[in-house]
Structure 1
């Protein structure tokens, strides 16, 4: 899918989330090009959605991936995501 230079990546969760600790990674054609702290202004959380707006934008013809390791978001109230199933 082609995206504009200023596209916002939005991850929608099934429950309300809050920021966890650590960073997320942005990959371009499989290579890490940015490691962004969860506290950075490029990362926004509103209810059950996490939005990422890259300050440098995106280049046409490139493939981008956003990597969000476990523990970077928490289900509110304070349950690590993904939740362990019992």
Structure 2
């Protein structure tokens, strides 16, 4: 039986850097999408989720976004993806 979450909400939040190598969240999300499990495994080895213009490989144990495409393109610099479990 698959115990991985079937749905996540991905939030794209702007980041800023005060010190080299240290990015911090800055502000409200600029975009969000609810993605659902596709039943496939991504190139990263984690389950693939897709929906609303986003396709992501997400580690179901930690909720870490391991790979992400937004409208078919890689994530722009200055944005960070945060996944929240949605059951």
TM-score range, shorter chain: 0.3 to 0.5
Q: Which has the higher contact order (CA 8 A, sep 6+)?
A: 1
Return the TM-score normalized by structure 1: 0.40
Return the TM-score normalized by structure 2: 0.39
